[in-house]
Amino acid sequence: MARVAVVTGGTAGIGLAAAHALAERGWSVAVIARDPDRLSAAERALAAYGQPVLAISADVADPKAVDAAAARIEAELGPIRAWVNNAMSTVVNPADQITPDEYRRVTETTYLSQVYGTLAALRYMKQRNRGAIIQVSSGLAVRAAPLQAPYCAAKFAVSGFTDALRCELLHDRVNVSLSVIYLPAVNTPQFNWARNRTGHRQYAPDPVFDPRLCAEAIAYAVENPRREVWVGRSSMMMAAAQVLAPALADRKAASMWSAQLSDETIPEMKGNLFEPVPGPVGIDGRFSGRTKASRSEFVTSRTRDLVVGGLAGLALIGLAGTIHAARSARRLPDRT
């Protein structure tokens, strides 16, 4: 029986790239999204890898719809081994010009969808004591940026929820892994359909990475569970800046206001916040000319721990040498 993976938001951008990466590795993939036409297209493309595929139309902000999708996947494809929470939405606008309904909707689609997906997966994984749950997050979950306050807040919430749940699973000795993937700016269609009332088209600041790199990191975490994975140098730099110099990181982020907007003026974009934007979109966005070609630029928490441990060891050795030298100096005879 094929291993079964679920990808929410699996018909475009990173989600579609992740579905392809898993299907290519022999996984049977279920994709959950809203647009029926893109679901049909994704289903046809993924079937070419030779494993069963299931496309389900559902709004991941609806917990009953997510539960129903999970039950259907179990019945039609088999036991769920991996669940990738990837669906998201955002609003590009200053924080005080975003409406309460927009904050609520971004919270539902970007944070609560990951909660609902995780809970649905756990209902099946816990009883089998195996499985991998992947939370697709962002460098903006560590270092927030202007013009996307609802999205940043939702991604921060994902980290808190995941850390709390991980502690509970450890306490109960449940063998289900939780991994968080922190992403950089990525060349996906979301820059073309995010709700935007700034009057300027949204722009991806450099460096911009390939969605397939993100998909490789997701597939890696599914098959080689890691607590965290940072994709692209910029996500690692954001995390380091927030830890080492948060006030300086605030000023740097403030200076990125204009870098997120192009000079091109546009009318207000309703985007895909409440309804899907119709039409084919695929994996890539409009920044292919600036996209980094790397398919292996990601670092896991295990690598980080080894580096930190090595640096700490060197620091202790240096400190021990300094103490030894100081003690030796005190024991030298006075020859004056």
Catalytic residues: 151
Tell me the residue ranges of DSSP E strands in 164-227.
Answer: 177-182, 195-196, 200-202, 208-209
Q: How far is CA 217 from CA 14, 17, 68, 83, in A?
A: 11, 11, 28, 14
Between CA 283 and CA 291 the distance in angstroms is 13
Burial class of residue 74, CB neighbours in 10 A (0-12, 13-18, 19+): middle
DSSP H helical segments within 5-112, as ranges? Answer: 13-24, 36-47, 63-76, 100-106
42 and 22 in contact (C-beta within 8 Å)? no
Rg (alpha carbons) of the chain, rounded to whole number: 22
145 and 256 in contact (C-beta within 8 Å)? yes
Between CA 145 and CA 167 the distance in angstroms is 29
Count of beta carbons in the 10 Å neighbourhood of residue 275: 11
Burial class of residue 265, CB neighbours in 10 A (0-12, 13-18, 19+): exposed
Nearest to 136 by CA among 73, 66, 82, 67: 82
147 and 259 in contact (C-beta within 8 Å)? no
* Residue 26 DSSP SS3: coil
Between CA 320 and CA 307 the distance in angstroms is 20
Between CA 73 and CA 66 the distance in angstroms is 11
Q: Which residues pair with 291 in a beta bridge?
A: 208
Length reported for the chain = 336
